[in-house]
Amino acid sequence: MKAIILAAGYGTRLKPLTNKTPKCLIPINGKPLLKYWLDLLIEQGFSNVLINTHYLAKKVDKYIESYSTNKNNIKMNTVYEEKLLGTAGTVWNNQKFIGNGDCFIINGDLLSNIDLRDFHKFHIKNKTLLTLSYILNNNPIGKGVLELDKNSKVVKFEEKPKIPFSNKIYSGIQILNSKIFEMLPFNNIQKNNYLDLDFGYHIWPQLKGQMAAYKLDCYLIDIGTINAYKKAEKLLKI
């Protein structure tokens, strides 16, 4: 299996932790956040991982080089974005890496013990080209909110709605199949050569009824703020 870890952002809300350290390398109980993901991917049988970079990219490159020295059973590479792309733009730009088949897209500022193998089984069973994962949140303000039908198909998605219509929010992990690049939203990217596009704002709302959603049964923390960072450290000390 393949995965792209999105790790190019500045981590502005995590300052001062990110003043000299890229967000994906901030330590959680002494262990870089990215290492949690790489260890999990190796444990669950992934063969190829790509990490996009921008802010303090050389530090990420150096870490990957040192990490991969004794990890010969998985390919790990970084791809530098001279200009920050939207999440969909990054994926579009790396179709060669995705190849023919499924690929996980993972937000690099998450901490989770998700079983990606079970998620993938769900994706295959539902026969969709794209499957989101979601969690329940009683305060979904400022989140990507989705609504499902009885067959776990996404019938509505809105990024950060003023009035949330559901307590189901996107977790930050999705699976897509390479055939999705033939669909209309991605054709528009190609036509306009415009890569600053985000899945939540520009792609998923146009795919309602054509995506499935998988409910996560694990811990998941979006480490986007100092408070979330402290929560993650506390969780892993238990």
Q: Which of 42-51, 187-196, 204-213, 222-231 has the lowest mean pLDDT?
A: 187-196
* Superfamily of the domain at 2-237: Spore Coat Polysaccharide Biosynthesis Protein SpsA; Chain A (3.90.550.10)
Q: Which residues of 121-139 are buried (b: 16+ CB within 10 A; e: fewer)?
A: ebbeeeebbbbbbbbeeee
Please give the model's pTM, rounded to 2 decimal places: 0.94
Query: pLDDT tens digits for 160-176?
Result: 999 999 999 999 999 99
> Any idea what the Cα angle at residue 136 is, between residues 130 and 138, rounded to 5°?
140
Domain boundaries, the chain: 2-237
pLDDT tens readout for residues 88-111: 999 999 999 999 999 999 999 999
